[in-house]
């Protein structure tokens, strides 16, 4: 037996403020609705309204489609306008999510992803920006790594104290910089000269000079640059500004330094025991002694004891110091001197011959 009961649902619809102030306890299955939002809460006979959970809203119902898909002409037209999943031919400006840099998988790449990838790959590559006039010594321009400028007018780049550049030279930024003077950003730039063809390479140490002989002449060295260090011959010219000249042969005698001219020659120092030459005027050291001579048997010597020896006297000082020693003459005078006299030593005696022929022994032997 089926019993039918009639039920009436009472909907309590009030503003949210009223619900909050009154906060009643709804009877079981009694419905309270917030007027502003339409939110429903179902009573349980125990809980106050504010503490009741909102009732879930019923899911929307989709309309029913009867017949086949082709019968729905408007729906079919809308579906036909969509791109297929297989080999879609998109039109217009399709968009999509942009992958992060470095992504490497099968997802589609947007133009934004490609642009970022190209920018990353080309950063620091050579980028010719154009010409730069350096006639007014401009500062370096603000640049990114790889930016390059070709000098159109010679001058300086980097201000008045910058680098000299010529027409055709290239300045290239080797680091990002804000531009400025040579002192501030010069380390972020380098210049490439346009005329390096034929330039010498430092590592070759002049071995790449095209004509060494011509180069020596141009430098004023000529054959002097090719002479042996032990035998240098200077012909002509003047050597000025020498304040000290040291010669050392490593032996008992100094090496010879000979001066020659139209009036004769003079030698300073000798490298052999034959100190005095037969036809030269010599000045030199032999041990601690200073010699000056005009022939091999005639000389003036000053010893280390400050003794003066004449005519080859080198040791006949009688153990004295600061004395004058005169060697025996090799030939005594036999004719009378004119306008003066002759002083000489013969057999150890000091003698004088006057212009009248008188020979006087000043001091006996």
Helix spans in the chain (H): 16-22, 73-80, 111-122, 182-185, 212-218
Q: Which pLDDT does position 279 carry in this prediction?
A: 40
Cβ atoms 351, 361 nearer than 8 A: yes
Residues 6+ apart with CB under 8 A from 296: 274, 276, 277, 278
For residues 273 and 316, state if they share a domain: yes
Q: Are residues 148 and 186 in the same domain?
A: yes
Task: Please check whether residue 239 lies inside any domain of the structure.
Answer: no
Assigned domain for 275 exists: yes
Are 261 and 322 found together in one domain?
A: yes
Of 40-54, 63-77, 110-124, 160-174, the one with minimum mean pLDDT is 63-77
Q: Is the pLDDT of residue 110 over 50?
A: yes
Q: What is the pTM of this model?
A: 0.32
How does strand 324-326 pair with strand 163-165? unpaired
* Shared-domain flag, residues 340 and 354: yes
15: CATH: 2.10.10
Q: Is residue 276 part of a domain?
A: yes
Between 257 and 104, residue with greater pLDDT: 104
pLDDT at 256 over 90: no
For residue 270, being part of any structural domain is answered with: yes
Question: Which of residues 150, 171, 192 is at a domain's end?
Answer: 192
Task: Say whether both 263 and 299 belong to one domain.
Answer: yes
In the chain, the number of structural domains is 4
Say yes or no: 319 and 338 in one domain: no
User: Domain range for residue 350?
Assistant: 329-365
pLDDT digits (tens, 9 = 90+) for 150-180: 999 999 999 999 999 999 999 999 999 999 9
Domain identity same for 346 and 311: no
Radius of gyration of the chain (CA): 59
95, pLDDT greater than 60 = yes
Instruction: State what percent of residues in the chain have pLDDT above 70.
Output: 71
Beta carbons within 8 Å of 22's beta carbon, 6+ residues apart: 14, 49
Within-domain flag for 72: no
Q: Could you tell me which residue, 10 or 60, shows the higher pLDDT?
A: 10
pLDDT digits (tens, 9 = 90+) for 261-285: 555 555 555 444 444 444 444 555 5
- Residues 288 and 341 grouped into a single domain: no
Pick from 164, 166, 165, 132: nearest CA to 148: 132
E strand intervals along the chain? 11-14, 31-34, 40-42, 127-133, 147-153, 155-157, 163-165, 170-173, 189-192, 257-261, 264-268, 281-286, 289-295, 298-302, 308-310, 324-326, 342-346, 349-353, 359-363
Instruction: Identify the pLDDT of residue 79.
Output: 81
Where a domain ends, among 192, 209, 239? 192
Position with higher pLDDT, 202 vs 147: 147
As a whole number, mean pLDDT of residues 75-88 equals 83
Residue 203 predicted with pLDDT over 90: no
Q: Are residues 339 and 311 in the same domain?
A: no
Domain identity same for 131 and 165: yes
Identify whether residues 253 and 321 lie together within a single domain: yes
The pLDDT, as a whole number, for residue 152 is 95
**Do 297 and 262 sit in the same domain of this protein?**
yes
Among 128-142, 198-212, 236-250, 288-302, the least confident range: 288-302
Residue 87 lies in a domain: no
Give the mean pLDDT of the chain.
Answer: 78
**Residue at 90 is within a domain:** no
The verdict on residue 39 lying in a domain is yes
Q: Quote helix, strand, coil % in the chain, to nearest 5.
A: 15, 25, 60
Mean pLDDT lowest among 14-18, 52-56, 180-184: 52-56
């Amino acid at each position: 037996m089926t019993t039918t009961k009639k039920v009436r649902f009472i909907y309590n619809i009030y503003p949210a403020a009223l619900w909050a102030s009154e906060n009643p306890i709804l009877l079981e299955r009694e419905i309270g609705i917030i007027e502003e939002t339409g939110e429903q809460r179902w009573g349980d006979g125990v809980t106050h309204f504010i503490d009741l959970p909102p009732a879930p809203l019923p899911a929307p119902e989709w309309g029913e489609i009867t017949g086949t898909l082709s019968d729905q002409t408007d729906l079919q037209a809308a579906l036909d306008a969509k791109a297929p999943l297989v080999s879609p031919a998109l039109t217009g400006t399709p968009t999509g999510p942009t992958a992060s840099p470095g992504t490497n998988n099968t997802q589609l790449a947007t133009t934004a992803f490609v642009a970022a990838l190209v920018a990353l790959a080309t950063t620091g590559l050579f980028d010719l920006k154009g010409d730069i006039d350096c006639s007014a010594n401009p500062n370096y321009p603000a640049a990114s790594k790889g930016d390059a400028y070709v000098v159109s007018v010679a001058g300086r780049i980097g201000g008045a104290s910058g680098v000299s550049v010529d027409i055709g030279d290239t300045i290239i930024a080797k680091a990002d910089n804000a531009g400025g003077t040579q002192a501030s950003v010069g380390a972020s730039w380098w210049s490439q000269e346009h005329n390096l063809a034929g330039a010498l390479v430092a590592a070759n140490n002049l071995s790449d000079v095209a004509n060494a002989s011509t180069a020596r002449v141009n430098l004023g060295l000529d054959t002097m640059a090719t002479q042996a260090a032990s035998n240098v011959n200077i012909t002509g010219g003047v050597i000025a500004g020498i304040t000290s000249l040291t010669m050392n042969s490593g032996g008992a005698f100094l090496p010879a330094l000979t001066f020659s001219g139209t009036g004769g020659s003079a030698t300073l120092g000798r490298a052999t025991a034959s100190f005095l030459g037969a036809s030269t005027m010599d000045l030199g050291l032999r041990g601690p002694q200073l010699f000056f001579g005009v022939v091999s048997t005639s000389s003036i010597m000053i010893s280390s004891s400050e003794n003066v020896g004449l005519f080859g006297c080198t040791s006949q000082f009688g153990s004295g110091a600061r004395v004058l020693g005169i060697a025996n003459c090799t030939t005594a005078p036999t004719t009378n001197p004119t306008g003066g006299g002759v002083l000489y030593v013969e057999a150890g005696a000091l003698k004088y011959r006057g212009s009248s022929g008188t020979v006087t022994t000043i001091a006996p032997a």
